[in-house]
Amino acid sequence: MISETTGARGPVIAVIGGGASGTLATVHLLRVAAAHQLPLSILLIDEHGRHGLGQAYATSHPEHLLNAPASQMSALAGEPDHLIRWAGAAQTAGCEFLPRRDYGRYLLDTLAEAERHAYPLCRVTRMTAQAVALRHTSGQRPLRLVLSRGCVDADIAILATGHQPAALPCAAPPSPRIITDPWAPGALAEVAATGGRVLILGTGLTMLDAAVAVTSGNTRTRVVAVSRHGWLPRSHSLEPASVRMPVWLPVTADATGPVRLAELIWQVRSAISASPGNWRDVVDAIRPAAPGLWQRMPLPDKRAFLRHVARHWEIHRHRMPPGTARLISQLRLTGRLAVQQGQIGSVRQHRDTLQVSFGDGEVGGCTADWIINATGPAVVGKTTGPLLLDLFASGLARPDQLGLGVDAGLNGALLDSAGRPSSNIFTLGPPLRGIWYESTAIPEIREQAAALARLVITARQARNRPGSAA
Ligand SMILES: Cc1cc2nc3c(=O)[nH]c(=O)nc-3n(C[C@H](O)[C@H](O)[C@H](O)COP(=O)(O)OP(=O)(O)OC[C@H]3O[C@@H](n4cnc5c(N)ncnc54)[C@H](O)[C@@H]3O)c2cc1C
């Protein structure tokens, strides 16, 4: 069944994915279209019905906090105080690191406000379905999106599909006691309710959130978290960002020429050794410049970064808020959370018990009642997502050179298998990781969303002008 979009006013834009990327793209599209008096129909499509929230902000757990201060998390490009003002009005102000469920409310409110402002010129239709394929058609609208139930036709498609579904890093039997994706709706509910011995694979921010979730309702639960290096994310400073010193690095000041990894590391090390207590300020100085630096880095240096430096960067750049650091310390001090270095070889299930062996020549193993995979999203080469697999198979998209996401122009236009930019299929957020590296957090996503909205709306206006060939 093809849903009727032929009668819609103005262009139809299918935004695939209702998380923060899809929501911010929709908000910015509505604002730019309203400012230009351009009618628009937006289909906001999410497989789990988490419109406005997505993976990160659908949590209801009060201890799941933002890992960046509110001053950096505005949804609107060019309005850095927007979240702070919302928090003041919603009476959630006062904490630097808001609960993520409050941030979800903020995204929902911001979307609702943009809809109100653009109504009746622009409308958003929320659809709960999985997009499984995308085709060019010769019909009135040039794109047909195949959904898990039916199809929709659109003029433009925006892939806001977030990270690729997580994959287990080892062989394991299918089992309800192995949670492959801890952010799937309700995934941790039974572990939290029944508890026991929980093995978490991975020691990053997702592990911290999963450990907090499964221990908070059940004092008998014991968690062991394992990763190859056993490193935990560092914590944020207790000092508010406003009182810290800005750091200047030569590489962030000069915006021309290639950036060599060795030189970059040398500059970072020098800045840190000049003031060891201020390593956070050095990382924070690099962070906003990171997408530009990545663009200017030669491919072999990017590969070397991924192999040798990325893990160090991740634990220093993705920091835990002080509140989470306190909770994690308590769990570790009371023996309810242990962090270990190791590599899981294989998992077998005997009745309700999972038997885990360590691989790669390490001896020993352990038993667990539950295993939670917190090793992070899959790279595109290992994706099981049907839409991406279809786009690669049809040649409408290709992986980026590093295999982290999809290949695209700097404006987010998908590149097809021959490297030609699409005029009507775009993406933003995590799928652009290979292009920008830092492309998964709100500060980058809101800028991409604003630029994409301007691009799409001005292109449409140009088509509508009298005398235009289109
Ligand atoms: C636990 C967690 C905490 C985080 N905390 C922060 C933070 O504090 N600050 C920060 O800046 N960033 C944070 N991030 C980074 C986060 O990636 C971004 O902030 C942002 O949420 C990414 O949103 P997204 O819409 O791209 O992806 P997602 O939130 O994953 O949303 C994508 C949505 O698209 C749906 N979807 C995917 N494929 C299809 C399809 N084919 N058809 C239909 N629907 C589909 C998915 O089900 C999902 O609902 C966090 C991430 C996680 C996982």
Q: What is the mean pLDDT of each run of 10 residues along the chain (470 residues)?
A: 63 98 98 96 97 96 94 95 94 83 97 97 97 95 96 97 88 92 93 94 96 91 95 87 74 86 95 88 92 96 97 94 95 96 90 85 79 88 87 96 95 98 97 96 97 94 67
Burial of 24 (0-12, 13-18, 19+ CB in 10 A): buried
pLDDT number for residue 425: 98
Domain match, 229 and 247 both: no
Give 417's contacts (C-beta < 8 A, 6+ positions apart).
392, 395, 396, 397, 398
Q: Is the CB–ligand 1 distance for residue 18 below 6 Å?
A: yes
Range of the domain at 281: 241-317
Residue 470: its pLDDT value, please? 43
Q: What pLDDT does residue 71 have?
A: 92
Closest ligand 1 atom to Cα of 58: 29
449 lines ligand 1 (CB under 6 A): no
Closest CA to 9 of 109, 111, 118, 114: 118
Pocket flag, ligand 1, residue 55 (CB < 6 Å): yes
Is the same domain home to 22 and 148?
Answer: yes
Q: Both 342 and 390 in a single domain?
A: no
- Whether residue 380 has its Cβ less than 6 Å from ligand 1: no
- 218/351 same-domain check: yes
Phi then psi for 99, rounded to 5 degrees? -60, 140
Answer whether 282 contacts ligand 1 (Cβ < 6 A).
Answer: no
Q: How far is the CA of 114 from the centre of ligand 1 (A)?
A: 20
Residues 6+ apart with CB under 8 A from 69: 96, 97, 236, 240, 241
Ligand 1 atom 33, closest CA: 17
Residues 63 and 192 in one domain: no
Q: Are 55 and 108 found together in one domain?
A: yes
pLDDT at 1: 55
Per-residue pLDDT of 410-450, as tens digits, reads 999 999 999 999 999 999 999 999 999 999 999 999 999 99
Residue count of the chain? 470
What pLDDT, on the 0 to 100 scale, is given for residue 467?
64
Give domain status of residue 470, yes or no: no
Largest CA distance in the chain: 75
pLDDT of residue 335: 95
CA distance 419 to 392: 12
pTM metric for this prediction: 0.94
Domain check: are 145 and 52 in the same one? yes
* CA–CA distance, 36 with 124 (Å, rounded to integer): 17
**Alpha carbon nearest to ligand 1 atom 25, residue:** 19
Report how far ligand 1's centroid is from the alpha carbon of 157 (Å): 18
If asked whether residues 144 and 7 sit together in one domain, one would say yes
User: Are 53 and 135 in contact, with CB atoms under 8 Å apart?
Assistant: no
Please tell me whether residues 329 and 383 are part of one structural domain.
Answer: no
pLDDT at 244: 65
Q: What is the CATH number of the domain that holds 69?
A: 3.50.50.60
